[in-house]
């Protein structure tokens, strides 16, 4: 049986991947089958956006990467300044001034055993390319999402605040969304409260008050999430971090998602029910506009 699918979904051949200090083509950007990222999903990552040649909130992303690594007792073999320099070097090598950057740190090559102490030096690689997570028309007209049966990882098992390479929890929820004919799904925690979506944070608006689940509900403390909270404060809009239930979703006047790749995108249908009038609301549209202005003006 032939399992060779090397030409299917292959990356662009002219890409340059930053791998352990060198820029190499995709064909040479390889890690060992004994790397713990392959064997166990043992590593961490960050997704970053670059606008007009400037990486948006680069220091915050790298700080979160360091926090994720520290949480799994992985020592990144680079300083933050070196990581920042490598990020820009990769973007420039690929002529990416507006796009997406993936920064990955694995624990490195080890044995088939679980012990993380029997490993070589961690591996670091960076990819810079274009990305279109959702079709453009959804940003204007809104998207449909569904609740899924896959629960968010219990915070005492694997903390959702760690951006680890083991994303199976999110992937299973994403499959459920795609099976339902939509692109995103809401994940609930073990207590039945809304945690986040498979790759995005979620915000509701009810009676003029913006609401989002607290981080301790099982959501990642998103960089875009925090940027939008700052924009909400700047406009002096009522805002609460609070536990949200399925009922809160169903009676919301507006809803939107935030994420590095997604940016800010309106939601107009949840579980087959229209959100408000079934079109992006005025507060959502205002925050989308504010965020676009923010990323274009950010230093």
Catalytic residue annotation: 163
- Nearest Cα neighbor of 106 from 31, 54, 21 is 31
Q: How large is the greatest C-alpha to C-alpha distance in the chain, in angstroms?
A: 62
Distances (CA, A) of 105 to 32, 102, 180, 225: 14, 10, 33, 23
**CB-CB neighbours of 174 under 10 Å:** 20
* Counts for the chain of helices (H) and strands (E), in that order: 8, 15
- Nearest Cα neighbor of 149 from 176, 170, 183, 180 is 176
Distances (CA, A) of 227 to 36, 42, 60, 230: 33, 29, 11, 5
Tell me the three state secondary structure of residue 28.
helix
C-alpha to C-alpha distance for 61 and 74, rounded to whole angstroms: 17
Phi, psi of 90 (to 5 degrees): -70, -45
Instruction: Quote the tokens at residue 163.
Output: 């951006």
Instruction: Quote the tokens at residue 273.
Output: 């029910």
For residue 57, the 8-state DSSP code is T
Asked if 281 and 256 touch (Cβ cutoff 8 Å), the reply is no
Place of tokens 């390479």: 165
């Amino acid at each position: 049986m032939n399992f060779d699918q090397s030409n299917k979904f292959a990356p662009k051949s002219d890409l340059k991947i930053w791998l352990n200090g060198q820029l190499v083509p995709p064909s040479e950007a390889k890690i060992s089958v004994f790397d713990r990222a392959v064997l166990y999903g043992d590593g961490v990552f960050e997704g970053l956006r670059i606008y007009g040649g400037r990486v948006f909130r680069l220091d915050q992303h790298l700080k979160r990467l360091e926090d994720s690594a520290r949480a799994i007792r992985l020592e990144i073999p680079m300083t933050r300044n070196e990581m920042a320099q490598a990020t820009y070097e990769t973007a420039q090598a690929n002529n990416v001034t507006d796009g997406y950057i993936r920064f990955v740190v694995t624990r490195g090559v080890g044995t088939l055993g679980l012990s993380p102490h029997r490993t070589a030096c961690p591996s670091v690689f960076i990819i810079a390319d274009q990305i279109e997570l959702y079709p453009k028309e959804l940003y204007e007209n809104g998207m449909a999402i569904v609740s899924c049966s896959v629960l968010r990882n219990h915070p005492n098992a694997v903390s959702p605040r760690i951006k680890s390479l083991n994303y199976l929890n999110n992937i299973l929820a994403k499959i459920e969304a795609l099976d339902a004919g939509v692109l995103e799904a809401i994940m609930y925690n073990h207590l039945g409260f809304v945690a986040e979506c498979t790759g995005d944070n979620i915000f509701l608006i009810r009676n003029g008050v913006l609401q989002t689940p607290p981080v301790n509900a099982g959501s990642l403390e998103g960089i875009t999430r925090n940027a939008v909270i700052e924009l909400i404060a700047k406009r002096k809009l009522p805002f609460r971090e609070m536990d949200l239930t399925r009922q809160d979703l169903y009676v919301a006047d507006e809803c939107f998602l935030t994420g590095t790749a997604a940016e800010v995108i309106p939601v107009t249908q949840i579980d087959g029910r229209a959100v408000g009038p079934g079109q992006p609301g005025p507060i959502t549209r205002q925050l989308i506009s504010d965020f676009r202005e923010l990323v274009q003006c950010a230093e």
